[in-house]
Structure 1
Amino acid sequence: MNGAEVLLVAGLGIAVSAAAKRRGLEPGLVIVVLAAAASFLPGLPRLELESELILALVVPPLLYSAARGAGISGLGTNLRPILTLGVALVVLTTAALGFISSWLLPSLGLAAAFVLGAVLAPPDTITTVSHGGELGLPKRVTSILTGESLLNDATALTLFTIAVGAVSGESTTWAGGIGRFAYTAVAGLLTGAVLGIGALWLRKRLHHPTLETALILLLPFTAFLAAEEIHASGILAVVSASFGVTANLTFDPKHQYSGAHLTRIQEDQVWPVLDFLLETFVFAYIGLQLKFVLEDLEFGLGRTLLAAGVLLVAAILIRLVAVFLLFGRWSLQWTMMRRKLDRDPALRTRFEQQIQRRRGRPFVPLSGKETLLVSWTGMRGILTLAAAAAVPHDVPGRDAIQVIALIVTLGTLLIQGTTLSALTRWLQIDLSGEEAESAQMRRVGEQILADADGFEAQRSALGKAFVERRLDETTARHLIADVDLRQAAES
């Protein structure tokens, strides 16, 4: 795939996205459908990249950008559902879809079937989160989906790597798989943390917004590749680096310096552009493969389409059933706990004191309406398509895996993606409490700004208020961004 072809794909993607947005359509869905149709044009050559380049070039910046906007405090409060969805449910989905694939396509082999299961397992919840305000999603649902998106990619890609290794003949046991998963997670997080600390140290010594932004643009690739070199999770390395850099540059006074506001403003404009270009490229690239992978199918078109349909339904149902069972169990436990607290005032007092010592809120299960929203946000997206494109050529049924991944992605986008907004309106979740709390937080923040003298003092006061839990993270971030803009306008 040469440079001219890449530029042509990106340029057409921009035009299609503009037309789709004017008509209220999802650009990614329109791009992949049109690209798939275009693949059948007579004489169109097959556009291919090395499989390793897909994940290394596309996933790190997209994930870094997603982690930049994730609220750290919200992730901590909802850690139980995030871990359950981002780790346990992905493992369960990979196993279930892997076994179903091996039954539908027995000649695929169990190891290659688990490759397919890992490709199909992670939902693209970050896309849903990016439209959370438009959809009217509750903040807690948004926080859980954000945390899930940062973990499920790492879990799925780790399982993907293990399954690919098994196809290549590597000896894999349950104990070995668990040990490898633990190593890749811990080593990945540490790698990202170390590189994030290094980026923070170097950044404030560059004294130039363009150079500082260039450094941060390189960080996700560096974290990903460095972690992969030691066989750790490149995804978790990227997430760890992103959290460390973003949180410190925004809230920690030790990492504030003259001109930092200009860099933050510049980065806030650069990352959305990069996200758009990469997402457009992946949707177009995988769509343009359709004709060629259909021609190379080993299992026949009819059998592959049947397998894709069954796996599409299975992927949707597995999430629906699992989310309701898991969240329903927590709801039952919480109801029983409340009854116990109501009967025992002394126990209630100790419980409330424990919560105060933690400086947080107790874990309260989602309502039935919120649980339904979480269970319906199972659309597959960028990671599924990128992982499918990155399947090595020596994996049996590679072309079938790519066709199934494309069909399942399109199917979930059509079935769930186009109905999520209507579902949210139909549920009519009361957001008045959240809106009142946000308005109150905004008033608290504005009072903090009024009491502080100077831009640096205002940012420091906002950061301190967030650390002391007097201000929520979303409000603090928005107000700091406002201060940055006012300072830039006056300089």
Structure 2
Amino acid sequence: MSVDLIFVVAGAVAVAALARWRGWPAPLVVTAVALAASFLPFVPNLEIDGELLLTATLPPLLYSAALNASFTSFKQAMPHVRRLGVGLVALTTVVVGLVAWLMLPDIGFAAALLLGAIVGPPDAVSAAAIGRKLGLPRRVMTVLSGESLINDATSLTLVRVFAAVAAGATVTVWQGLWEFVLAVVVGVGAGLVFGFVLHAIRLWLDDPTVSSTLGLLMPFGAYILAEHLHGSGVLAVVAMGFYVGYNAPRTSYAQRQHDKPLWRSVDFILESFVFAYVGLQFPDVWRTVTEHNGSGVLVVALVVFALVVLMRPAFVFASYAWGQFWQRLRLRRWKHSVEAHQKDPTSRRARPVASARARRASMSVQPTTQAIQQRVLEPVLSVRERIVISWSGMRGVVTLALAVALPELTDHSIGDGHVETLIAVAYIVTVGTLLVQGLTLPVLIRGLGVTSKDQTARDNREVARLRRLSNEAGIEYLRVKQERWVAAHGEIGREAFNRFSRGLLKVEQGATSGENDLDKVQEDAAAGRMKQVSYDELQALSRGWLSVRRKVALEQSRVGNISEEVMRDLFDAMDAEELALDTR
């Protein structure tokens, strides 16, 4: 088993590497190659327990996605994400369950609903890979990734409830709702505790290798503990990832630079294996279809496939229209609150606005009107963007792992070949959505012309505004430092300071000559050609300059004047500058 696993992982990574080199969507290519390879006699047939598969792959994949996601963008897109991640999964469970029960009444209504819960959650890995390559707008990517972060929790909770019913337990509607609430509260709580501990370790421990290794292990701990406490392990890992990622700007630059390539490698290996595993299961599923009323199973699978594909666009457009209606009501209420505050700040209707303004008044940077409105309005999605989201409903590892784990989940209470039938239906839906939707999604995106050109222009404006603000803050920092340098080093210090400051300003503006100026001054200081001015003092000045610029970027992001993604890009650039300081 271990040798077969290594063989499959190595082959999947090789195929994925080739696909990335050729610019093809790696998850789909790996699945297609694995499907074809599954017929070869020397290719191993992997049999992995569904619970083990979920526990081994979900925590790192979800944690990495949450770690690199923008919490601010996620919070703004929460209405979209909540409707798709909770509402659509629940609706899919009910509709698919009813249809499957009508077509296969012998399996029982609970088992039919269990099938609906299993095929309910889409997997955004393949959609995200295609979207990043083709430059989908950030708001679309946020909706897709945010949906994938919470829909697994919804599905797993529903599976847990319906599996108990299928096993013979009596579960009322209120018990099911309590199960969901408990999963959310315990899962999020456990994740925040683990995230707080890991962030504290990252701040205290000046060893990126050790802290990153702990970051690899702790998502598994959060997932297992939350599940043991009857919470959602998925939400625990997501909450942990959001907490650590949101506070990553407060850690050292070395920690941030260490994390990024590490998690990219982990994602690459796990995603390659997962999609290879999906393809390699085809012979077993085909054998099940032929042994258990093959034509009937295929008909049910095709009907369920059609349901999950067609329900998504109908739900996306209908729920978006409903959300826009409520959004207009919220905006009207916000405007009335602002008007009430302007007329009488002490009135009850103005209290929410007044308290919010009081909190913002304590900040060093005031948010713009646009940033305030972004807290009230959910991101607007065009018709073309909604079409892309509607067609990005590919199923993945969660659906397959839950299907494989059906016997254990139901305590083997579903007999007479019905378990094999449900597994086959879930598998056909997974592979069908991956190949049909996944292969046509790039064509759809290109045909509709959904790009991020407008977003790039906005990002450039935000960067220009932030450069102006950070330049002002940096000049003030240098002015204060200059007075101290002149007092300590006299005119020699003034000359060195002015030369070094000009280099810093050039670097901040993106001029390549700035690095040469900095190198020349530091070489003179290190060689002793600048009396009383030491190399360490120049290094400290550079680090202080970077600290001021980081502080401005972080403040602007926290109050909503720039996006968190832009802030992270700027931090990457400043981290590279600090790395150059350490290696110059």
The answer, yes or no, to whether TM exceeds 0.5 is yes
Task: State the Cα distance separating 1:346 from its structure 2 match.
Answer: 7.3
Task: State the Cα distance separating 1:43 from its structure 2 match.
Answer: 6.6
Where 1:169 maps in the other structure, the secondary structure is coil
Q: Deviations over 1:433-463 (max 9, x none)?
A: 4232111111123334444343333322221
Q: Deviations over 1:117-168 (max 9, x none)?
A: 1121111235423443433423322222222111111111111222222222
Alignment of 1:374-393 (within 5 A): 374-393=389-408
**Aligned partners of 2:230, 2:271: CA distance in 1, in Å?**
26
Q: Deviations over 1:143-195 (max 9, x none)?
A: 22222111111111111222222222222121111111111111100011111
Aligned residues: 479
Instruction: Specify whether residues 57 and 110 from structure 1 end up closer, same or farther in structure 2 by C-alpha distance, changes over 3 A only.
Output: same
| C-alpha contact 2:51 2:401 (8 A) present in aligned 1 | no
Paired residue for 2:146? 147
Q: Of 299, 304, 315, which aligns to 1:311?
A: 304
Q: Does 1:114 align with 2:128?
A: no
Paired residue for 1:79? 78
Paired residue for 2:170? 171
Q: Does 1:293 align with 2:285?
A: yes
Q: Does 1:485 align with 2:555?
A: no
Give ranges in structure 1 of 5+ residues lacking alignment: none
Partner amino acid for 2:181?
A
Task: State the Cα distance separating 1:314 from its structure 2 match.
Answer: 0.6
Paired residue for 1:323? 316
Task: State the Cα distance separating 1:107 from its structure 2 match.
Answer: 2.7
Where 1:92 maps in the other structure, the secondary structure is helix
Partner amino acid for 2:277?
Y
Q: Deviations over 1:221-244 (max 9, x none)?
A: 011001011111000000111111
Instruction: Specify whether residues 275 and 402 from structure 1 end up closer, same or farther in structure 2 by C-alpha distance, changes over 3 A only.
Output: farther
Where 2:180 maps in the other structure, the secondary structure is helix
Instruction: Specify whether residues 97 and 449 from structure 1 end up closer, same or farther in structure 2 by C-alpha distance, changes over 3 A only.
Output: same
Task: State the Cα distance separating 1:199 from its structure 2 match.
Answer: 1.4
**Aligned partners of 1:138, 1:380: CA distance in 2, in Å?**
22
**Aligned partners of 1:413, 1:466: CA distance in 2, in Å?**
36
| C-alpha contact 2:28 2:439 (8 A) present in aligned 1 | no
Where 2:235 maps in the other structure, the secondary structure is helix
After the TM superposition, which of the residue ranges 299-308 and 325-334 deviates more from structure 2?
325-334
Instruction: Specify whether residues 48 and 123 from structure 1 end up closer, same or farther in structure 2 by C-alpha distance, changes over 3 A only.
Output: same
Paired residue for 1:220? 219
Alignment of 1:46-57 (within 5 A): 46-57=45-56
| C-alpha contact 1:203 1:215 (8 A) present in aligned 2 | no
| C-alpha contact 1:29 1:410 (8 A) present in aligned 2 | no
Tell me how large the CA RMSD over aligned residues is.
2.7
Partner amino acid for 1:64?
Y
Paired residue for 1:209? 208
Paired residue for 1:423? 444
Instruction: Specify whether residues 186 and 33 from structure 1 end up closer, same or farther in structure 2 by C-alpha distance, changes over 3 A only.
Output: same
Instruction: Specify whether residues 401 and 471 from structure 1 end up closer, same or farther in structure 2 by C-alpha distance, changes over 3 A only.
Output: same
Where 1:15 maps in the other structure, the secondary structure is helix
Partner amino acid for 1:385?
L
Task: State the Cα distance separating 1:114 from its structure 2 match.
Answer: 2.1
**Identity in percent:** 34
| C-alpha contact 1:114 1:163 (8 A) present in aligned 2 | yes
Partner amino acid for 1:473?
E
After the TM superposition, which of the residue ranges 447-456 and 368-377 deviates more from structure 2?
447-456
Task: State the Cα distance separating 1:315 from its structure 2 match.
Answer: 0.3
Paired residue for 1:444? 465
**Aligned partners of 2:140, 2:572: CA distance in 1, in Å?**
24
| C-alpha contact 1:115 1:163 (8 A) present in aligned 2 | yes
Task: State the Cα distance separating 1:88 from its structure 2 match.
Answer: 1.0
Q: Of 366, 383, 398, which aligns to 1:368?
A: 383
Where 1:489 maps in the other structure, the secondary structure is helix
Paired residue for 1:403? 424
After the TM superposition, which of the residue ranges 295-304 and 165-174 deviates more from structure 2?
295-304
Q: Deviations over 1:347-390 (max 9, x none)?
A: 99569998895934242543322222222221212322233333
**Aligned partners of 1:388, 1:346: CA distance in 2, in Å?**
51
Paired residue for 2:161? 162
Paired residue for 1:280? 272
Paired residue for 2:243? 244
Task: State the Cα distance separating 1:430 from its structure 2 match.
Answer: 7.3
When normalised by structure 2's length, the TM-score is 0.76
Partner amino acid for 1:196?
G
Instruction: Specify whether residues 34 and 437 from structure 1 end up closer, same or farther in structure 2 by C-alpha distance, changes over 3 A only.
Output: closer
Paired residue for 2:372? 359
Greater Cα radius of gyration, structure 1 or 2: 2
After the TM superposition, which of the residue ranges 305-314 and 160-169 deviates more from structure 2?
160-169
| C-alpha contact 1:129 1:145 (8 A) present in aligned 2 | yes
Paired residue for 2:557? 466
Task: State the Cα distance separating 1:472 from its structure 2 match.
Answer: 1.6
| C-alpha contact 2:82 2:147 (8 A) present in aligned 1 | yes
Partner amino acid for 1:35?
A
Q: Deviations over 1:283-330 (max 9, x none)?
A: 222322222233345632222221111111110111111111111233
Task: State the Cα distance separating 1:279 from its structure 2 match.
Answer: 1.5
After the TM superposition, which of the residue ranges 278-287 and 291-300 deviates more from structure 2?
291-300
| C-alpha contact 1:282 1:386 (8 A) present in aligned 2 | no
| C-alpha contact 1:445 1:462 (8 A) present in aligned 2 | yes
After the TM superposition, which of the residue ranges 155-164 and 451-460 deviates more from structure 2?
451-460
After the TM superposition, which of the residue ranges 294-303 and 168-177 deviates more from structure 2?
294-303
Q: Does 1:10 align with 2:9?
A: yes
Instruction: Specify whether residues 155 and 454 from structure 1 end up closer, same or farther in structure 2 by C-alpha distance, changes over 3 A only.
Output: same
Instruction: Specify whether residues 324 and 456 from structure 1 end up closer, same or farther in structure 2 by C-alpha distance, changes over 3 A only.
Output: same
| C-alpha contact 2:96 2:304 (8 A) present in aligned 1 | yes
After the TM superposition, which of the residue ranges 211-220 and 42-51 deviates more from structure 2?
42-51
Q: Does 1:302 align with 2:290?
A: no
Give ranges in structure 2 of 5+ residues lacking alignment: 343-349, 358-370, 475-543
**Aligned partners of 2:337, 2:172: CA distance in 1, in Å?**
45
**Aligned partners of 1:158, 1:346: CA distance in 2, in Å?**
40
**Aligned partners of 1:474, 1:44: CA distance in 2, in Å?**
43
Instruction: Specify whether residues 317 and 479 from structure 1 end up closer, same or farther in structure 2 by C-alpha distance, changes over 3 A only.
Output: same
Partner amino acid for 1:314?
L
Task: State the Cα distance separating 1:209 from its structure 2 match.
Answer: 1.1
| C-alpha contact 2:27 2:271 (8 A) present in aligned 1 | yes
**Structure having greater relative contact order (Cα 8 Å, sep ≥ 6):** 1
Instruction: Specify whether residues 79 and 172 from structure 1 end up closer, same or farther in structure 2 by C-alpha distance, changes over 3 A only.
Output: same
Partner amino acid for 1:56?
T
